[in-house]
Amino acid sequence: RVLSLELNKDRDVERIHGSGINTLDIEPVEGRYMLSGGSDGVIVLYDLENLSRKPSYTCKALFTVGRSHPDVHKFSVETVQWYPHDTGMFTSSSFDKTLKIWDTNTLQPADIFHFEGTVYSHHMSPVATKHCLIAVGTKSPKVQLCDLKSGSSSHILQGHRQEVLAVSWSPRHEYILATGSADGKVKLWDVRRASGCLSTLDQHNGEKSKASSEAANTAHNGRVNGLCYTNDGLHLLTIGTDDRMRLWNSSTGENTLVNYGKVCNESRKGLKFAISCGCNPEFAFVPCGSTIAVYTVFTGEMITVLRGHYSTVNCCVFQPHFQELYTGSKDCNILAWIPAPREPLPDDISEKSLPQQHLNPAYEDAWSSSDDEG
């Protein structure tokens, strides 16, 4: 289904934003409600469900935190995220140096955290049961941890040398956090440990020549502005302004050396890319200029390029229930990409008799059945 993603001609997302869209998030409980954040500070909530049941429909905006709202962000919203466990709460962070915790029902902030610098990224753990920490990456090299329960942001993680552009909790271990910085480093932390980070990822896997003056481990030869774990949490995908994407074994910290070729990355701030969920193989959807490049995560092959936006694509979000992709762009549009319907086969033709060479290799079944072997 993912291999046949195409622009959905029958589904529009109501156009509310008057400026570029930086961030999208679909709530994980039902996969029905989507948040978007714009570069003018506006936040919109959409219902993705087709309530009209007509083939062509528009996903309606249920509400907007618009410019006239008393608590609207003053500058660009860089990240929106639903509270992972129910839709009664969502979070947003902005270049106005704040992180806001919103009550979905009243559209009032239940809490506001203030920082000394621009906020690039924040993330809540999708699996945490024992803590309510929001990781926040800002202009400061210190990673801030805000506690939803106590309302304090006293906890900091020190180790980066420059601003922190991307943060992501592991979907496997609730205390493990990955951070990417303008210093070219990706660090993994266990937030229970006061001593500092668990590891700093090294693109050379420790095999640099002794003569090299660059002693410190770097993940990229540029700013690291995107991080995304695979859904099982076993691997971490990182993107840097060196036009490289790297896949790491998240338990050993090893660079798996998958080659994705040149992955164009012109973003000067955080880049919001996505990994599919529930597919085999898994795919990465990476904004690339006004297009979205689709890669197979474990082979590095670029499968296709999705074209439809008129300007820079800033963010992608994957809807796992229907294998759909939503993308937001500087052109103020949110586009829905859905799998093309496959032609039904006539009853008298079995799958077996079809010419095999037309199968995309990613569709092919890697399992063998026992009767083939014996």
The backbone region for 159, taken as left when phi is positive above 0, alpha when psi lies in -120 to 50, beta otherwise, is: left
Give me the pLDDT at residue 365, please. Answer: 53
Give me the pLDDT at residue 347, please. Answer: 61
pLDDT lower than 50: segments of the chain = 210-211, 213, 354-357, 372-374
Give me the pLDDT at residue 98, please. Answer: 97
Q: How far is CA 172 from CA 81, 186, 247, in A?
A: 19, 18, 17
Give me the pLDDT at residue 244, please. Answer: 96
Give me the pLDDT at residue 278, please. Answer: 86
Give me the pLDDT at residue 236, please. Answer: 97
pTM of the predicted model, to two decimals?
Answer: 0.89
* Residue whose C-alpha is closest to residue 285's, from 306, 268, 265, 262: 306
Give me the pLDDT at residue 349, please. Answer: 52
Please calculate the CA angle 221-222-224 and round it to the nearest 5 degrees.
115
Contact 248, 220 (CB under 8 A): no
Nearest 10 degrees: Cα torsion 38, 81, 314, 59? -70
Give me the pLDDT at residue 264, please. Answer: 86
Give me the pLDDT at residue 208, please. Answer: 67
Give me the pLDDT at residue 194, please. Answer: 74
How is residue 244 written in tokens?
């490289």
Residue pLDDT, tens place only, 342-371 = 666 666 555 555 444 455 555 555 555 555
Cα separation, 183 vs 174, in Å, equals 26
What residue spans define the domains of the chain?
A: 2-339
Q: Which CATH code fits 2-339?
A: 2.130.10.10
